[in-house]
Amino acid sequence: MDLDDTIVAVSSPPGGSARGIVRLSGPSAFELVEQPFRPLSGSRRTLNTAVRVSGKLVFGIYAIPAFACYFPQPRSYTRQDMVELHLVGAPTLLGMMVERLLELGARRAEPGEFTTRAFLAGAMDASQVHGVAGLIAARSDRQLRAAEQLLHGSLSQTAHRARETLADLLSLVEGAMDFADEPIEFITPTQLVTRLIEVRDQLGATLSASVRTERWARLPTVALIGPPNAGKSSLFNRLTGMDRAICTPIAGTTRDAISAPMSLGESECLLIDTAGIDDAADSLDAAVQAATSLKQRHADVVIILFDATNDGSNAAVQTASIRVANKCDLIAPNDRARRVAALSERLGDTPLLISARTGEGCDSLRTRISGVLAHSDADARDVGVALMAEHREALDRAAEALDRSIGLATCAGNELDNADLVAIELRAAAAALGVLAGRDDTEALLGRIFARFCVGK
């Protein structure tokens, strides 16, 4: 990888959008942009700080409105001269812009190369690089916040503090080794054990937070259940925006669960359509009912859907997070209050009135789902750090080494007579934490990190 040439790539997400970004980084970034970009002022300015310049991009006889953000070194993401061209986010247009800059002498960036340059320039450590990868992969607000913790150095700071403590303790332990024949007490075994337990507990808290974060790696699931012909499949199609589920007036059309992602504004969930809850007529029906029951038990949110047109006669009381009465479009406006009251009396709760056919009430249902998901997660405000496999392995190695050193210190007498063995374990713990602090990383480890990146990051 040549770090002295100028690289270019589309940096905005794939697909069409109101705005797309083409990013350049390298010693010739400013000069290359001058060819297609025409500032409105018509003059080149000397740059010593970040600046945004409005202008147009020229493609033959075409001129596209755009603006350029200039980031002179070292005040840029990569710590090199860097430019971002912001233009209409049409994939074809962005591709033409990249091809034009390649013709002018830029090189197409490899996956993760912008962040690689930032890392090699010392702009971020290895754990922060993982944070960038986590931001790219985030599919929910909590995943995003967990990745931000990593990007902002939360893990690096934890590892750095632990390493500093271990370095202090190691100096005391080695002092005891060097002056073993002198009447000097550097640290007692009891003092050493107390401080090592504090470090181990700090690492344990980080690991505990990572377990919570791992649960966020999957989308939360929302199961639609209810009697046959309540309109579950119609609601599924309405909420997901897809015609995935077959909708007919024939009871029992849905025989197996299907799922699709559903947008909740700033986050997503996985919506699951299930077979109608009914008495099993044969072994096949029994298997279908068992599958529905399984989805209900494992779902983060359960929506029970009823037909609002029959006063709740099919509304068997079930355990649910949200109760919804469908087909309100078939009820006269002056009869809705009576219907809702009948369902409320049977269910012991007031259901949300919606129409899967017209979409009435569906926005309120999305809001209700978001609220239940946020409320049901006891850790919603306790944002963990988005640890990856390498981080967990390093934390485990450090914790194991600390446990061994605690055991050795506990077995020691009034004096630390096994200081040499304790020192070995303290060095092992510090070395493991070096990975988290962005030190002692091997080339193979960095390769695995940057392989997760897309081009333009």
Task: Please tell me what DSSP assigns to residue 448.
Answer: H
Q: Are 136 and 24 in contact (CB under 8 A)?
A: no
Degrees, nearest 5: CA angle 331-336-338: 120
Determine phi and psi for 87, rounding to 5 degrees.
-145, 180
Q: Which amino acid is at 428?
A: A
Is the backbone peptide bond immediately before 333 cis, with ω within 30 degrees of 0? no
CB atoms near residue 436 (< 10 Å)? 29
Whole-number Å distance between alpha carbons of 143 and 388:
13
Measuring CA to CA, which residue among 141, 297, 142, 139 is closest to residue 212? 142
Residue 241, SS3? coil
Confidence (pLDDT) at 349: 78
What are the Cα distances from residue 132, in Å, to 190, 215, 371, 414?
Answer: 42, 19, 28, 49
pLDDT computed for residue 18 by the predictor: 87
What per-residue confidence (pLDDT) applies to 21? 94
Question: Across-strand partners of 87?
Answer: 20
pLDDT at 190: 86
What stretch of H or E contains 268?
Answer: strand 268-273
Q: Which residues contact 143 (CB under 8 A, 6 or more apart)?
A: 134, 137, 213, 216, 217, 386
Residue ranges covered by each domain of the chain = 7-123, 135-215+384-450, 221-376
Architecture of domain 7-123: 2-Layer Sandwich (3.30)
- For 316, residues 6+ apart whose C-beta sits below 8 A from its C-beta are 227, 277
- Amino acid (1-letter code) at residue 68: A
CA distance 124 to 146: 17
Rounded average pLDDT per 10-residue block, the chain, 457 residues: 86 86 94 90 64 86 89 92 93 91 93 88 78 69 68 76 87 72 68 90 79 59 85 88 61 64 82 71 59 71 85 52 87 84 78 89 90 64 58 86 90 77 90 71 45 55
CATH of 221-376, one of 3.20.20.10, 3.40.50.300, 3.40.630.30, 3.40.50.970: 3.40.50.300
Pairing of strands 51-59, 62-71: antiparallel
pLDDT of residue 410: 87
**Strands 51-59 and 37-39, bridge-based pairing:** antiparallel
The closest of 9, 24, 10, 8 to 90, measured between CA atoms, is 10
Q: 130, 368 in Cβ contact below 8 A?
A: no
Neighbouring CB atoms inside 10 A of 158's CB total 20
pLDDT of residue 315: 46
Q: What is the DSSP letter of 88?
A: E
Helices (H) and strands (E) in the chain, counts: 14, 13
Note the pLDDT of residue 351: 85
Q: Give the H/E segment covering residue 197.
A: helix 189-215
Task: Round the CA-based radius of gyration of the chain to a whole number and report it.
Answer: 30
Cα gap 118→125, rounded to integer Å: 9
Rounded to a whole number of angstroms, the distance between the first and last alpha carbons of the chain is 15
Domain 135-215+384-450 has CATH 3.40.30.160: no
